[in-house]
Amino acid sequence: MTEHSARRPAQDEDRRTDRELVYAAREGDMDAFDALFYRYRDGIFRLGLAITKDPSAAEEIAVDTFTRAHRALARLEPEGSLRPWLYRVAVNLSYNRRPRKNVILSPLEDSANDTLQSEERSPSALAEQAEVRRLVLAAVDTLGPKHRIVVVLHYMNGLNLAEIAQVVDCPIGTVKSRLHYALRRLRTHLSAHPEFGIEPAALLAPSSRRTVAPVVEPLPGEPQ
């Protein structure tokens, strides 16, 4: 046989659906379980990294997530993708995790530079981008866990509203309003920085107008 066919199918080349893989793994096919592992390990690792900011903790979370999946194989019934189940476990593990002591956490910074340097930019533009990025991520950290996880799941893991709803086990409407609330909070936070071009004056309007909403339209000549 050729080289190609001799290669193992484990590394994300398995074309079977999650459901088929789960059923195969239940029968004892460990290659099927490995295929699931390769398919989702990076997403779960990133999710854990975005929440804990600690690469080794993120790896630990990935291992724990799949260990739970392995233990739960007999009762897993994925309709489409196994991703919502895995992500939900990973989110819970990430938030229930106690942060390790004496660890200096700066993993989100070092990776920023190598990707940005690949584009051809001037050093000042690069520095400005890195600064904006730092500001945005710091602002996300000020959000509460419920709102932060929605932001992370959408902007980092690229899940849409329905998928996020499955992960956090909420109606889509709730996810929508949480995301909107998170964006509004970020707007308030980032308006202090002129880099974003957000006018602070425009921010005061929403809350005041919402509380005293006009019942009738003001007449054209009426002041205010």
- Is 19 or 26 the residue whose CB approaches another protein more closely? 26
Single out the residue of 16, 46, 88, 97 in contact with another protein (rule: CB under 8 A): 46
- Planar angle of CA 161, 16, 156, nearest 5 degrees: 30
Spatial CA neighbour of 157 closest among 63, 90, 77, 69? 90
Stretch that binds another protein, among 16-24, 67-75, 87-95, 141-149 (CB under 8 A): 67-75
Assigned token pair, 99? 């942060």
- Is 29 or 80 the residue whose CB approaches another protein more closely? 29
Assigned token pair, 215? 């019942």
- Is 2 or 215 the residue whose CB approaches another protein more closely? 215
CB of 160 to another protein, least distance (A): 6
Please say whether the beta carbons of 94 and 149 come within 8 A: no
| CA distance linking residue 74 with residue 224, whole number of Å | 66
CB of 206 to another protein, least distance (A): 6
- Is 104 or 213 the residue whose CB approaches another protein more closely? 213
> Site residues for another protein, window 87-146 (CB under 8 A)?
100, 108, 111-112, 114-116, 129, 132-133, 136-137, 140
Single out the residue of 59, 81, 88, 174 in contact with another protein (rule: CB under 8 A): 59
Residue 16 binds another protein (CB under 8 A): no
> Site residues for another protein, window 144-183 (CB under 8 A)?
151-152, 154-156, 158, 160-161, 176-177, 179-180, 183
| CA distance linking residue 63 with residue 46, whole number of Å | 13
Query: Which residues, 6+ apart, have CB-to-CB distance to 94 below 8 Å?
Result: 47, 48, 51, 52, 61
| CA distance linking residue 29 with residue 47, whole number of Å | 27
Cβ atoms within 10 Å of 82's Cβ, excluding its own? 20
- Is 136 or 170 the residue whose CB approaches another protein more closely? 136
What's the full length of the chain, in residues?
224
Residue 23 binds another protein (CB under 8 A): no
CB of 213 to another protein, least distance (A): 4
